[in-house]
């Protein structure tokens, strides 16, 4: 451990942690029903998922799921909201939208942060330009082990991605 003092506060840094931000490789979201990022290092404390004009061929809401060894699809406490629509809730993943349509191309970010003891908090902010709509999502899930994967999919799991790209960044 090392202590860093900046004149107003001190911060203890675990010397075994990797500092800095690691960027993944952008993935085209133009096919398939999910986009998976695996082999996330055990020291990660925050993950940012970035979306550029991501679209599907259906109306199922977008969601992010995380996991330890496999994707967790239960136990989430999550809500999604889109301008001028009702709030929706889910226990199957972190909701990013409150409504969706095949014509919508979502851009924005989602942040997943370690709260402690394998518990993860989530917040997202996305929009689609054609209707000046904004979507917000938030939630929490506890995992049975150390997070090592992130999945972007839809609530029904069958709508197919047909446009855009997704990437992640993570940090310790």
- The pTM for the full model equals 0.88
**C-alpha–C-alpha distance, residues 46 and 32, integer Å:** 26
Indicate if the pLDDT at residue 5 is higher than 60.
no
Say how far apart CA 158 and CA 96 lie, in whole Å: 17
**Position 1 pLDDT exceeds 50:** no
pLDDT at 25: 93
Number of CB atoms found within 10 A of residue 125's CB: 14
pLDDT digits (tens, 9 = 90+) for 91-150: 999 999 999 999 899 999 999 999 999 999 999 999 997 777 899 999 999 999 999 999
Sorted by where each begins, the domain ranges of the chain are 20-171
CATH tag, 20-171: 2.60.120
Kindly tell me if the per-residue pLDDT of 47 is higher than 70: yes
Strands (E), the chain: 2-5, 10-13, 21-23, 27-28, 34-38, 46-56, 62-67, 77-82, 88-90, 94-95, 106-116, 119-128, 133-142, 149-154, 161-171
pLDDT on residue 84: 76
Residue 54's nearest CA partner among 152, 155, 172 is 152
């Amino acid at each position: 451990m090392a202590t860093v003092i900046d004149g107003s506060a001190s911060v203890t840094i675990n010397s075994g942690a990797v500092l800095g931000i690691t960027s993944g490789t952008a993935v085209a979201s133009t096919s398939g029903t999910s986009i998976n990022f695996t082999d996330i290092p055990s020291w990660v404390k925050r993950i940012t998922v970035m979306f550029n004009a991501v679209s599907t061929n259906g109306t199922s809401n977008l969601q992010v799921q995380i996991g330890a060894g496999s994707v967790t699809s239960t136990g989430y406490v999550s809500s999604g909201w889109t301008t001028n629509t009702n709030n929706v809730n889910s226990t199957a993943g972190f909701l990013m939208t409150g409504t969706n349509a095949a014509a919508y191309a979502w851009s924005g970010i989602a942040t997943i942060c370690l709260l402690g003891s394998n518990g993860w908090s989530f917040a997202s902010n996305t929009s689609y330009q054609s209707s000046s709509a904004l979507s917000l999502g938030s939630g929490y899930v506890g995992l049975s082990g150390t997070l090592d994967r992130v999945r972007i999919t839809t609530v029904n799991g069958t709508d197919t991605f047909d446009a855009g790209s997704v990437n992640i960044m993570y940090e310790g």
